[in-house]
Amino acid sequence: MNDKRDKTSLRLSLIDNAYDSLNESLAYVETALTDHTRWKFAVLNLVHAVELVVKQRLHDEHELLIWEDVDRPGRTAPLDKALVRLKNIGVGVKRPELEAIRTAIRWRNNITHYEVDLIAEEVRENYLLIFEFLDSFHHQHFFGSLSDRIDDSHVQTAMDLVDSFGKEFVEFRGRPMHRRWPRLLVAAQETKEFIFQNFSYARLPWGSETHWSTWMKDDSPLDYCPDCATAIHEFHGPNCDQEECPRCGGQLLSCDCDFDEDPFWGLDSVALGELPDAP
């Protein structure tokens, strides 16, 4: 028996789907003010919006660029691969924004597939940076303001985010960082070693990681860490994805070494007034 009832189409273009996800994200930002667990949904939807906007820009360049395998269209390219293609067609993404997006991708994967272990303040700061990227990227590559695509009920939230970015982020070592980050970086220098089962392991400053003498021996470290902005010979900041574990040699952020308690591990949640002044 044929069902002749009218069916409602849910088809959205890439860019319209992005706007829809952005509005969903803003709605979760509003609820996150009283329930911090909502940040995970705000992140999921914002990253989805960024992914679709990036793919729309690739599609505008050539429709095949959105596919993971351009010779066999079927599955669209993941966001990290889409970002590489943006660079290849001459559309640059600034390093701080790129790092923020990559951090959000990692969070999205953890939220989707693993456990959720996020710090609300850190998520919010990264959210501000990504939102600023989305607003700027849309302005550069698409007609009209992004604010025109935001539902009236969420416009004030979007305006507050833009205002917060201007107030809370500063230029630090050539890149936008949250205003509290320089003081966190100073505090991180106080921890010079980690303790594991009564054995001490000296931390590795930026530029002293073992890979610079092994598989990256033909390269040289940048003046400042691309993630935490610490300088050569300085220790990394909390949760930096570039710091090497001095015990196992893996990434400190993700390794299984269960070091003893140290003030370093709680720096991300320390109140600004409790930190030493930056020099």
**161/89 same-domain check:** yes
**148/159 same-domain check:** yes
pLDDT in tens, 241-269: 889 999 999 988 888 898 888 777 777 65
DSSP letter string, the chain: ----S--------HHHHHHHHHHHHHHHHHHHTT-GGGHHHHHHHHHHHHHHHHHHHHHHH-GGGGBSSTTS-SSBPPHHHHHHHHHHTT----HHHHHHHHHHHHHHHHHHHS-----HHHHHHHHHHHHHHHHHHHHHHSSS-GGGGS-GGGHHHHHHHHHHHHHHEEEETTEEEETTHHHHHHHHTT--EEEETTEEEEPPPTT--GGGGTTTTTS---SB-TTT-PBTTSPPPTT-TTPBPTTTSSBTTT----PPP-GGGGGGGS-GGGSPPP-
Per-residue confidence (pLDDT) for residue 279, from 0 to 100: 43
Q: Which domain holds residue 267?
A: 180-279
**174/184 same-domain check:** no
Q: Considering the domain boundaries, does residue 220 fall inside one?
A: yes
**172/202 same-domain check:** no
Average pLDDT (162-166) is 84
Q: Considering the domain boundaries, does residue 1 fall inside one?
A: no
Q: Considering the domain boundaries, does residue 5 fall inside one?
A: no
**96/226 same-domain check:** no
d(CA 30, CA 151): 13
What share of the chain has pLDDT > 70, as a percent?
87
Average pLDDT (135-141) is 89
Q: Band of the pLDDT at 275, cuts 50, 70, 90?
A: very low
**pLDDT averaged over the chain?**
83
Q: Considering the domain boundaries, does residue 6 fall inside one?
A: no
The pLDDT of residue 206 is above 90: yes
**165/237 same-domain check:** no
Domain-ending residue, one of 128, 148, 178: 178
Least trusted range by pLDDT, from 21-35, 43-57, 94-108:
94-108
The pLDDT of residue 278 is above 70: no
**161/250 same-domain check:** no
Q: Band of the pLDDT at 46, cuts 50, 70, 90?
A: very high
Q: Band of the pLDDT at 165, cuts 50, 70, 90?
A: confident
Least trusted range by pLDDT, from 42-46, 93-97, 187-191, 242-246:
93-97
User: Is the separation of the CB atoms in 277 and 182 below 8 Å?
Assistant: no
Q: Considering the domain boundaries, does residue 50 fall inside one?
A: yes
Domain-ending residue, one of 178, 200, 220: 178
Q: Considering the domain boundaries, does residue 2 fall inside one?
A: no
Beta pairing partners, 199: 196
The pLDDT of residue 271 is above 90: no
d(CA 79, CA 130): 14
Domain count, the chain: 2
Average pLDDT (78-90) is 87
**224/105 same-domain check:** no
Q: Considering the domain boundaries, does residue 162 fall inside one?
A: yes
Inter-axis angle of helices 120-141 and 155-168, to 10 degrees?
110
The pLDDT of residue 67 is above 60: yes
pTM > 0.75: no
d(CA 277, CA 279): 6
d(CA 78, CA 101): 13
Q: Considering the domain boundaries, does residue 89 fall inside one?
A: yes
**138/208 same-domain check:** no
- Regarding predicted confidence, which is higher, 234 or 214? 234
pLDDT in tens, 102-116: 777 777 776 665 555
Domain-ending residue, one of 148, 178, 208: 178
Average pLDDT (52-73) is 90
**188/167 same-domain check:** no
Least trusted range by pLDDT, from 25-34, 154-163, 168-177:
168-177
**132/186 same-domain check:** no
**159/184 same-domain check:** no
The pLDDT of residue 49 is above 90: yes
Average pLDDT (33-38) is 87
